[in-house]
Amino acid sequence: MAQRPAVRDAGGVGDTAFGELLRDWRRRRRLSQLDLALEADVSARHVSFVESGRSAPSRAMVLRLADALEVPPREQNHLLLAAGLAPAYAERGVDDPGMAAVRAGIERVLGAYDPFPCLAVSRNWDVLQVNPGTAILLDGVAAHLLDKPNALRIALHPDGLAPRIRNLAQWRHHLLSRLRREAGVGGSAELLAEIESYPGGEDCSTDLGGVAVPLELYRLDGVLLTFISMVTTFGTALDLTAAELSIEAFLPADDATAEALRASPTPV
């Protein structure tokens, strides 16, 4: 049976690993102890006690506080472990037999979007699976980027799509903003630093009336394609792999792009 971490006494009040993590998340969300108490429907006194180590939280309390703080699933596991409790989320590979329903769901979504590009990526943006329509996004990408494909490297590396993206600074800002948010809640700081080192600048302006940031990409033959992206996730997943997996579809933003994609030959 897992044991709760020992409380470090300091005049009757000591921090625990859980208390330190909880305080960190509360400060990230810019909440006071009272704010968190109101969000979680508990007393501010109890929040203070579990944060200082004077009270050991129950499993239900850890999850209630995590929900109030909008803590991602992987980090919820860290909170539970820090409190000496079993994690809530398992983690299995996509190829695990128990993930058959997830694999089937990915296949259905990818197939439904074809001939429009659609790909499934992991929490670190590693490409897990693509549909045939994605070939148009991979044409001309250097082989070293396709060996272990990562969607951000393919999009923004100078040997990837970057030289053919007409609004590169705008698209870079869009992707880097997402990556920075993810890095702030447990995402890869190393990947962020790498992607930020690529050339291209940033432009925070938007198009399409501010509704979405378009991807304006020149095909290898010079034809301009314009996309908007839409992300699908497994909202009720109880496995980390499924919870952190996302499926990104690139939909035509104009009739010319839709016609060009429908006219493209299906790769053999």
Long-range contacts of 125-128 (CB under 8 A, 24+ apart): 125/150, 125/151, 125/152, 125/179, 125/191, 126/150, 126/151, 127/151, 127/154, 128/94, 128/245
Q: How many CB atoms lie within 10 A of CB 47?
A: 28
The pLDDT score that the predictor gives to residue 264 is 73
- Same CATH fold assignment for domains 17-82 and 97-263: no
- Which CATH fold would you assign to the domain 17-82? 434 Repressor (Amino-terminal Domain) (1.10.260)
Q: Which residues in the chain land under pLDDT 70?
A: 1-15, 184-187, 205-211, 265-268
The pLDDT score that the predictor gives to residue 72 is 86
Domain ranges of the chain: 17-82, 97-263
pLDDT tens track for 2-40: 444 433 333 333 447 899 999 999 998 999 999 999 999
The pLDDT score that the predictor gives to residue 65 is 96
The pLDDT score that the predictor gives to residue 236 is 72
The pLDDT score that the predictor gives to residue 266 is 56
The pLDDT score that the predictor gives to residue 130 is 96
The pLDDT score that the predictor gives to residue 129 is 94
The pLDDT score that the predictor gives to residue 5 is 41
Report the CATH architecture of 97-263. Answer: 2-Layer Sandwich (3.30)
Q: What is the pTM of this model?
A: 0.75
The pLDDT score that the predictor gives to residue 267 is 52
Q: How many CB atoms lie within 10 A of CB 143?
A: 7
Phi (first) and psi of residue 153, to 5 degrees: -65, -45
Spatial contact of 170 and 205, defined as CB atoms under 8 Å apart? yes
